[in-house]
Amino acid sequence: MKSIAIILVSERSRHLAETILKEYPDAEIHPLTHVGELFSKSDALVFIGAMGICIRTIAPYIRDKYTDPAIVNIDSTGQFVVSVLSGHVGGANELSTALARVLGAQEVITTQSDGLGLWALDTIGKKYGWKTETSEANLNAPITLFVNDKRVALLLDIKDSGTAYMERTKPPHVDLFYNIADIEWKEYELFIAVTPKIYREVPVPAIYYRPSVLHLGMGCRRQCSSTGVAGYLEEALTGFGYSPLSIASLSSIELKKDEPMLHELATHFGAPLHIFSDRELDGVEVPNPSKKVEEVTSVPSVSEASSIMAAKGGALLLEKQKGALSAGNEFTFALAQDRASVRAGHIEIVGAGPGDPELVSVKGKRFLQQADLILYAGSLVPIELTHYAKAGATVRSSASMSLEEQFEIMKEFYDKGLLVVRLHTGDPCIYGAIQEQMALFDAHDMSYHITPGISSFQAAAAALRSQFTIPEKVQTIILTRGEGRTMMPEKEKLHLLARSQSTMCIFLSAGIVRDVQAQLLEHYPPTTPVAACYKLTWKDERIYRGELKDLAKIVEENNLTLTTMIVVGEAIDNRHGLSRLYADEFKHLFRT
């Protein structure tokens, strides 16, 4: 909310208003007499008092849900927070939920889609940055069909966080499609599509969400006139079956950076203008290189190359097109789709966390639920994590596979346009062995991303109930390993790292614990607290505390293995030292 006005009907309820101010310090308290002037300039009005007073006061000022502010009413005892007006579009529903949490109250939201747990079709576009269109006079009729459980065909032509949400939360009366040719129209009464494409022969009411995924590359003559060009481009794109509402950017070469036409077009389409150097464009492969263009610009392509660059290597949808609305005012344009939005194969490297299946991130869990192939790191990752897999998914352990075999099965699914999850223990960036895999992904120009996970060193801090950084005592955490079969760089030998006496978390070193202890004792006092943490957060977790002089004995007598983390440092169990963040001079950091 940009501005919230709290309308206090009675002074008896001032404590509620002041509680809200603690969470919304930019809000202001006003008397009932100020409602008229506040209605048109506030984003939200929060009444504290009887609902009848709220309704009668706002009645003369109500116009429509697209311009009216969000109206919320809180009863004088603070038990109920009611969304009164502009629930979806104005944000009253969202604000009601937030205020109910602040007050420990019950929110009351009567919007039908919220009550049924359905998508808010009139605001979901705004939430995910899509522009909304409908084949009907307005959204009311399609929304009525949707909330009344009429059968819906949902087409997702692109992928982003919004489409992932729709796939994950699809109501039972909605059928999902990725190709419009697969839809049997006689079975449906409503069509919803997230697409940059224009479909002309849809026989049922439709809602179109236009994601910003199209990148328009342009070249032009010097001082090319902009008269009529915007309209020409809109008509041309529409003719080719692409919505101008999905234009994400305009782009060109540095030589054209000052061309007025390009800047006017960027303003018209509400999209940024990307300018690329000739060096950047020179290496882009295009279907229509031009010697004439190269003579002028030093590169064989401007419109095609710049559109592909802006789309981060995305597919070229429209090859170079020529236009001229008057003599001497020629221009070219091409269109590419943002690479990240293309529905194609993808590999998500997911950090599984330290072991407890509930310690995988929410994002990681969602990828596991959506994956077509889950390739997990054998005995290092609890098999329970793979139980999140959807019906029909393939789940394989990589324990017996070589790197080449792992890549082969991932590429098999990738080439079919499917989602692969490579599941690694802890956080993949710490001894995760993902570098070699990423090198192969890069060599084959494959789409991949990393979802981080909770590391076992963080699980160790939690299990030990210790803060690993103590004010004025230790401010550094070292994550390392002892030297076994994997050689350590000379400058990272344990005895050198031990000089700082930082909190040290030592991975993969239980088998060489005597050497680890000897090197640590060169700088840490023999009585320094240590902990040997076996299978952190697993069902058979075991933790042994002691002093550094007894570390080897602790590990060996308890038969601890490779899945053991060794922690050393005076931060273990330390309860001394007060963070300066609790001092008065830092209190402003915690205010919103």
**Strand pairing report for 503-507 and 394-397:** unpaired
Q: What's the pLDDT score for residue 466?
A: 94
Q: What's the pLDDT score for residue 90?
A: 84
Query: Is residue 541's pLDDT more than 60?
Result: yes
Q: What's the pLDDT score for residue 578?
A: 58
Q: What's the pLDDT score for residue 562?
A: 79
Return the minimum-mean-pLDDT range out of 71-80, 103-112, 308-317, 375-384.
103-112
Query: Is residue 113's pLDDT more than 60?
Result: no
The phi, psi pair for 197, rounded to 5°, reads -90, 150
Instruction: Kindly report the number of other CB atoms within 10 A of residue 12's CB atom.
Output: 12
Q: What's the pLDDT score for residue 378?
A: 85
Q: What's the pLDDT score for residue 116?
A: 59
- Residue 255: pLDDT band with limits 50, 70, 90: very high
Q: What's the pLDDT score for residue 335?
A: 98
The mean pLDDT of 216-234, rounded to a whole number, is: 94
Which residues touch 328 (CB under 8 Å, ≥6 apart)? Answer: 221
- Residue 64: pLDDT band with limits 50, 70, 90: confident
Beta strands in 284-408 (DSSP E): 316-324, 330-337, 346-351, 373-376, 394-397
The number of helix segments (H) and strand segments (E) in the chain equals 20, 26
Query: Is residue 589's pLDDT more than 60?
Result: no
Q: What's the pLDDT score for residue 580?
A: 59
The mean pLDDT of 417-428, rounded to a whole number, is: 93
Alpha-carbon gap, residue 67 to 460, rounded angstroms: 53
Angle (CA) 432 434 439, round 5° = 160
CA–CA distance from 242 to each of 185, 322, 348 (Å)?
Answer: 22, 17, 30
- Residue 112: pLDDT band with limits 50, 70, 90: low
Q: Where are the alpha helices (DSSP H) in 503-559?
A: 513-520, 551-557
Q: Where are the alpha helices (DSSP H) in 123-277?
A: 124-127, 140-147, 161-168, 229-239, 260-269
135, 203 contact by CB (below 8 A):
no
pLDDT in tens, 290-312: 998 988 888 999 999 999 999 99
Helix 362-370 to helix 161-168 angle (10° resolution) is 70
Asked whether the whole model's pTM tops 0.85, one would answer no
Return the minimum-mean-pLDDT range out of 97-106, 282-291, 457-466, 483-492.
483-492
Q: What's the pLDDT score for residue 61?
A: 94
**Strand pairing report for 174-177 and 190-194:** unpaired
Query: Is residue 115's pLDDT more than 70?
Result: no
- Residue 14: pLDDT band with limits 50, 70, 90: very high
Q: What is the CA radius of gyration of the chain?
A: 30
- Residue 91: pLDDT band with limits 50, 70, 90: confident
Which residues touch 500 (CB under 8 Å, ≥6 apart)? Answer: 476, 478
Alpha-carbon gap, residue 168 to 532, rounded angstroms: 41
Cα 59 to the chain's mean position, in Å? 40
Q: What's the pLDDT score for residue 579?
A: 59
Query: Is residue 87's pLDDT more than 60?
Result: yes
Q: What's the pLDDT score for residue 344?
A: 86
By three-state DSSP, how is residue 59 classified?
A: helix
- Residue 66: pLDDT band with limits 50, 70, 90: confident
The mean pLDDT of 220-224, rounded to a whole number, is: 92
pLDDT in tens, 339-398: 989 988 999 999 999 999 999 999 999 999 989 999 998 878 989 999 999 888 899 999
The phi, psi pair for 116, rounded to 5°, reads -95, -5
pLDDT in tens, 503-524: 999 999 999 999 999 999 999 9
- Residue 88: pLDDT band with limits 50, 70, 90: confident
Q: What's the pLDDT score for residue 242?
A: 98
What mean pLDDT value characterizes the chain?
A: 92
Query: Is residue 166's pLDDT more than 70?
Result: yes
Query: Is residue 417's pLDDT more than 90?
Result: no
